[in-house]
Amino acid sequence: MVVGAAGGAKLLEEAVGLVSPAGSVVSLNFAFTQIPIRYMQMIRKEANLVGSRMQNGKFPIVLNDYPDRLAAIEPVLVTHVFSADDAAAAFDLALSGDDTVGKIVIDF
């Protein structure tokens, strides 16, 4: 999940590039100009784009609820956990091309 709450158009554009496959981009954005989004990139990643104006105060609730939802799916998705000290090994594994590797978590 990539959360953009700063309201910058460039940040939303970059979030599309950062989101992982099947991930979500959550945007709290009040930009009145058009924001270019690499739509094909969203389709290829099967990612979701969710907008919020926070008018109902739901944005913090969604973010607070996310860890509980993640805990329910984490055992299926996360295949490796590394400490921050071993971050280089985590990146090596991520780039290895090993198809048994799912999500890699670097614990800070």
pLDDT in tens, 56-83: 666 666 667 666 666 665 555 678 889 9
What's the pTM value of the predicted model, to 2 decimals? 0.45
Whether 59 is covered by a domain: the verdict is no
Whether 67 is covered by a domain: the verdict is no
Beta carbons of 80 and 49 less than 8 angstroms apart: no
Task: Please give the tally of structural domains in the chain.
Answer: 1
Whether 83 is covered by a domain: the verdict is no
Whether 104 is covered by a domain: the verdict is no
Whether 16 is covered by a domain: the verdict is yes
Q: What is the pLDDT of residue 11?
A: 74
> 6 phi and psi, to 5 degrees?
-85, -20
Whether 75 is covered by a domain: the verdict is no
Whether 36 is covered by a domain: the verdict is yes
CATH code at position 43: 3.40.50.720
Range of the domain at 21: 1-53
Q: Please tell me the distance from the alpha carbon of residue 29 to that of residue 8, in angstroms, as a whole number.
A: 7
